[in-house]
Structure 1
Amino acid sequence: MFDILVTKIFCTILLSQLIHPLLASDIPNCAFQDTVSLIDVQPYIDGSYEYDGVWIPANMTATYTYEELGDGTRIPAPSHVRGCACKLKQCIQLCCAPDERLDETLKTCVKRKLVEYPRIDTYTENLTRSVSDVFEKYIPQQRMPCEDFKILDASLDNDFNILYEDAVLYHVAMEKYISHRDFCLTPYWQNETSLSLSPIQCYNAIPVSTYIYMALLTISAPFLFATIWVYLYVPQLRCLHNSCLVCFLGTFACGSFILSSMLWFKYPLEVCITMGVLCYFFMISAFFWLNITCFDLWFSIRGIRYNLHLGSPKSRFISYSIYVWSAAVIFTLVAVIIEFATDVIDAWKPGFGNGQCFLKSRDWSAMLYFQGPSGLLNFANFLFFALSVINLYQIKGDSYELQKENSQQYKLSTFCRLFLVMGVSWIFEVFMYLYPKEASVIKIIFNTFNASQGIILFIVLVLKRRVLTLLKNRWQRNRSRTLSLGSNNSYVS
């Protein structure tokens, strides 16, 4: 009887040990990020643990069969005990082991120089600063909360941050509070002699759709340059109106090319700021050239309507150039001065290099410096278009003017297509700016359209019967001339 009892007890204990991992559950009211692994810690007889000087009672421990990655993904792991230590003492995350540092280029931990581990600077709510040992003040956890990141350099205005004693990080430039779960600290050499314990700023993983938009934007630039080449190559397309159109395409192509390069490559801060300013200059110039192209069309049709002397095309183009480049330089200088030479609040600054190279879009900056001015120019373009249509239909009675009108009708139809592309693009940009959380399908349509503008403009301006016929004739004429010269050279030799 006694043997049977002992056998039952032994089987019960063995069975409980076998199925315990299967019955394991998370610690109630304790997120995984607030737990620490107790795999190398021996429990007390009552099931409690001591970890880093903190006593963890048995009811704040549990057996886990998974690990949780920085993005919240759970992966299977050998059964192990974890304790909710961060509920008992404030935890803070270290990106790497104590003898390592995080390499921003390699995106991984590497061995660091054998120097003393940097101390941590923290602030109270009234901004009283204290310096202490991170291993004494907090429970350190080794964990990378994200894959893509930037190490913040507190000596830079754009990276300046405040780490409070409750392990909450305040990013001053972004005016954003970041939980200790969403960043980690790493030893960072601000210069050759100053080693600090710096936080990282996480970036969200880039979805596949973003790479598609980036590819479309990159492909668009060559299409814009190809459109420019066609309008310069064909003599019949060389006129004042098309010269303005080429200038629009050229500035828009340069802006698109710079913008696409900023998406693919991570530039140093100084280069990033320079690229952002150049991109802004070319993009704002493009909208002014589009505006002057629309104005010239209306001005030409109005001159036919009232038999006005419009001046030579060369003098008009010089006047247009002075207007466009002066306006673009003024807008760019104002943006740069406000960004770097004034003390206005961050929300009203363009944000060159502030988390991105081009204008920031998290507040009203983009609307103030880009969407707003381009919107007003597009509204003026609509007025020029409406007036051009009215004047064009008023001159149909005269046969001489009708001959003149044919060319203007062609220009008007070209401008109509151009205006639709750029006008719809601007409307899309404003919609996405005002309603950033709208349905993803709408966003996909908008982003795809905007990223493909160069391709669309090539279709609108080049893939037309008249332009293709002129291009074909020009190509055949040049080919015939080349063959003729070759024959003559052969005859002479």
Structure 2
Amino acid sequence: MLQGFYIQADNWSELLIIIMRNVAFALGILSALIAAIMADISGCDYFDTVDLTNSHKFENGTYLYEDILIPKEKVGLYDYQILFNGDREPVPEHTRGCACQIKSCVRFCCDPQKLLVKGEGICEGNINLNYSSILNITMHDGAEVEKDVMEFIVQKHLPVPCNDHLMLNAAGNENHGWTLFENGTLVRHFDGEHLSKRDYCLQPIHRPNSQLLYELQPHHCLPPTEKTNAYIQTVSIFCLAIIIVVYLYLPNFKSIHGKCCTCYFTCLTASFLMIVVVSFGWVDKKYSLICFLIGYSGYYAIMATFLWLLLINYNLWKTFNNIGVGRRSRFMNYNIFVWSVAAIFLMITCLADFLYEVDENEEDPNMFIFKPGVGLYSCWINIYDVSAMIYFYGPILLLIVCNTTFFIKTAMRIFVQNKNNKRQLKKTECQHNLRNLTNFEMFFRLFIIVGVIWFLEIISYLCTLFNVNSMWVNFADMLTSGQGVILFVVTIIKKDVLKPIAERIVKRKSRTDMSHTSTSTPLTEICLLPKTERTSSERAQ
């Protein structure tokens, strides 16, 4: 009995020792965490601090930094630095002081006498740079005054915001304007974004055309790409792929109109795919060969998309006016037109990009108005400047206007035909004519989807350019990105499309029935054509 008691007591003593060790370990970790927390300066943002490593320390714990005294309670130990994206990076422990709560600060990317190396995020040189440090500063009361930023506390030891900096310079492009406030906040004019000192920095740049050769300009990083539209476009790609398969599978879509629609959906899918690749950052190395290939391929696909959309309405206009009906070479001519014109657009864009191959730090920023800028901000054409209207949205707008013109002419022709036929046709034929009118109304809804939505894309660009109603911009972008889903519902989720698919899959009807089924046509097919064209198309098939 006693022996068993002593064994049990020994077990209890071992358990107590283990518990005490664990408590001591936990207390050690807790102490380290408390020490780390206490090391930071309470109530002071990291980007309001300065490095005090080389500053004089007084016996009472106060530091002298430049011409100000930083009290002991505004001083702390830091073993990390915060990057522009909010991540913490470990660094050797050093002392920092909350100087910006005592006096206004201005942030430099590097030492004021060094230059920032573009694309590398490092500073080089230590020469006597001759530049003016006087900038327009907006004070707390809203007044704008010229002040020498060297009168502020110069923060030059913060981590460089990002590797590939973008420069803001309103000298040649008002869209690149900016406003610097006394509290260190900088407002970027092209999107109205308020940038803290974490998101931008000042640094002199080489400017050969300037009187002083160097100019003080803010450098910033673009905000991370919003991926909501990319996810919507991914769903659209899936829906568009189904539409293409159905158009290739069913004999209903073998006419010229159906083939043009198939080409349109294919080009739209390719353009969405390129945009998704860029949006998800799968190719983030700008100015690389694959980056240029994706940017120019996406541009080519976009231009071809709108050209096919134009030909869809052009073909319907010719059909309803009995122009060139039954010509088998028409689709081949359409292909030559689309791919050639899209290639011309691409060639002009490429030439402009290479002809205006300039360094933004050394040349007149006016040059960028004429530079498409593929690869400048991302592996896509530059959509942040006025140049997008010249090379991207301008041609698209022109094609949409032509597209709308053909549609209006076709609509007027259909209404005139229906009005005349009501007086001449028999009751059964009149009912058939009214069915054509119904088909036209469905076709009109389709045009609204694939045509007018693109107007929203251009309006969205203009709103972004002039910083107008960002909520409207987001809605328009989401609607444009979701075109694949909308087109899928309008063109596929219909009885006269689903029924032929089901019949062909299960093979429940004979070849005669299948042939009869192939002559029935869904909304986007030759049911929109007048009787003479339907007869010709049926003979061709």
Asked whether the 8 Å contact 2:63–2:70 carries over to 1, the reply is no
Cα distance change on mapping 1:150 and 1:314 into 2, 3 Å? farther
Structure 1: stretches of 5+ with no match in the other structure: 1-20, 96-102, 110-116, 127-137, 155-177, 186-198, 482-493
Shift, 1:427, TM fit: 2.1
Specify the alignment match of 2:136 in structure 1.
none
CA distance in 1, matches of 2:243, 2:229: 21
3-state SS of paired residue (2:328): helix
3-state SS of paired residue (1:58): strand
CA distance in 2, matches of 1:468, 1:247: 21
Deviations 1:358-405 (CA, angstroms, capped at 9, x unpaired): 221222222222222222222222222222122223334265997996
CA distance in 2, matches of 1:58, 1:445: 51
Asked whether the 8 Å contact 1:220–1:454 carries over to 2, the reply is yes
Cα distance change on mapping 1:60 and 1:426 into 2, 3 Å? farther
CA distance in 1, matches of 2:158, 2:331: 64
CA distance in 2, matches of 1:242, 1:478: 25
Deviations 1:88-109 (CA, angstroms, capped at 9, x unpaired): 99975579xxxxxxx99xx9x9
Cα distance change on mapping 1:139 and 1:469 into 2, 3 Å? closer
Specify the alignment match of 2:498 in structure 1.
468
Asked whether the 8 Å contact 2:63–2:71 carries over to 1, the reply is no
Specify the alignment match of 1:432 in structure 2.
460
- The answer as to 2:112 corresponding to 1:84 is no
Specify the alignment match of 1:58 in structure 2.
69
Cα distance change on mapping 1:340 and 1:320 into 2, 3 Å? same
- The answer as to 2:306 corresponding to 1:276 is no
Shift, 1:288, TM fit: 0.5
Asked whether the 8 Å contact 2:460–2:477 carries over to 1, the reply is no
- The answer as to 2:488 corresponding to 1:458 is yes
Structure 2: stretches of 5+ with no match in the other structure: 1-37, 112-118, 133-153, 168-194, 203-217, 358-365, 512-541
Cα distance change on mapping 1:302 and 1:122 into 2, 3 Å? farther
- The answer as to 2:473 corresponding to 1:443 is yes
Asked whether the 8 Å contact 2:60–2:72 carries over to 1, the reply is no
Deviations 1:270-312 (CA, angstroms, capped at 9, x unpaired): 2111111100001110000000000101110111xxxx5x253
Task: Calculate the aligned-residue CA RMSD, in Å.
Answer: 4.6
CA distance in 2, matches of 1:382, 1:91: 52
Asked whether the 8 Å contact 1:34–1:91 carries over to 2, the reply is no
3-state SS of paired residue (1:262): helix
Asked whether the 8 Å contact 1:352–1:358 carries over to 2, the reply is yes
- The answer as to 2:361 corresponding to 1:339 is no
Shift, 1:142, TM fit: 4.3
3-state SS of paired residue (1:354): coil
TM-score, normalised via structure 1 length: 0.63
CA distance in 2, matches of 1:251, 1:74: 40
Residues 142-291 of structure 1 aligned to structure 2 (within 5 Å): 142-143=158-159, 145=161, 149-151=162-164, 182=199, 202-206=221-225, 210-264=226-280, 265-268=282-285, 269=287, 270-291=289-310
Cα distance change on mapping 1:59 and 1:42 into 2, 3 Å? closer
Specify the alignment match of 2:206 in structure 1.
none
CA distance in 2, matches of 1:215, 1:66: 43
CA distance in 2, matches of 1:72, 1:64: 25
Shift, 1:315, TM fit: 0.8
CA distance in 1, matches of 2:491, 2:410: 19
CA distance in 2, matches of 1:271, 1:63: 50
3-state SS of paired residue (2:57): coil
Asked whether the 8 Å contact 2:227–2:279 carries over to 1, the reply is no
Cα distance change on mapping 1:74 and 1:379 into 2, 3 Å? closer
Specify the alignment match of 1:416 in structure 2.
444
Which protein, 1 or 2, shows the higher relative CO under an 8 Å CA cutoff with sep ≥ 6? Answer: 2
Asked whether the 8 Å contact 1:182–1:202 carries over to 2, the reply is yes
Specify the alignment match of 2:390 in structure 1.
368
Specify the alignment match of 2:214 in structure 1.
none
Cα distance change on mapping 1:313 and 1:405 into 2, 3 Å? farther
Shift, 1:446, TM fit: 1.4
Shift, 1:314, TM fit: 2.5
3-state SS of paired residue (1:314): coil
Shift, 1:462, TM fit: 1.0
Shift, 1:349, TM fit: 1.6
CA distance in 2, matches of 1:282, 1:252: 7
